[in-house]
Amino acid sequence: DSGVTQTPKHLITATGQRVTLRCSPRSGDLSVYWYQQSLDQGLQFLIQYYNGEERAKGNILERFSAQQFPDLHSELNLSSLELGDSALYFCASSVGIGTSTDTQYFGPGTRLTVL
């Protein structure tokens, strides 16, 4: 158990819908990262937040957005869902902003299925 929690574990929805994935980082960690794992794209970085502020952006679609709240939990919002958005979405957390001493600890993931 990494200490990172993600809810829900599974999510099944229809095309065009909007969903919210939630992540609680390990106690004391200030950074939260979101990754998408799909069969065709592999593991891809989406976005990073550090202490409430966006710090880095990867291959995140405009239909996707995220935020980190004052209690440091984070939410990833996916809208206008398409079949291709079906994937495993991981959240990871680390203590700092990303230095040599930082290790990213991954949650168990949320499996999103878009029908």
Partner 1 sequence: AQSVTQLGSHVSVSEGALVLLRCNYSSSVPPYLFWYVQYPNQGLQLLLKYTSAATLVKGINGFEAEFKKSETSFHLTKPSAHMSDAAEYFCAVSVPGASDTGRRALTFGSGTRLQVQP
Site for partner 1 in 59-88 (CB under 8 A): none
Give the three-class secondary structure for 28.
coil
Strands 5-7 and 19-24, by their bridges, are antiparallel
Considering only the stretches 14-22, 53-61, 65-73, 76-84, report the one whose residues sit in contact with partner 1 under the rule CB under 8 A.
53-61
| 7 touching partner 1, by CB under 8 A | no
Minimum CB separation from partner 1 for residue 15, in Å? 25
Residue 26 DSSP symbol: P
Neighbours of 32 (CB within 10 A): 31
Measured CA to CA in angstroms, residue 85 lies from 30, 35, 79 at distances of 27, 12, 10
Considering only the stretches 16-24, 67-75, 76-84, 98-106, report the one whose residues sit in contact with partner 1 under the rule CB under 8 A.
98-106
Residues binding partner 1 (CB under 8 A): 2, 4, 33, 35, 42-45, 48, 55-56, 58, 90, 92, 96-109
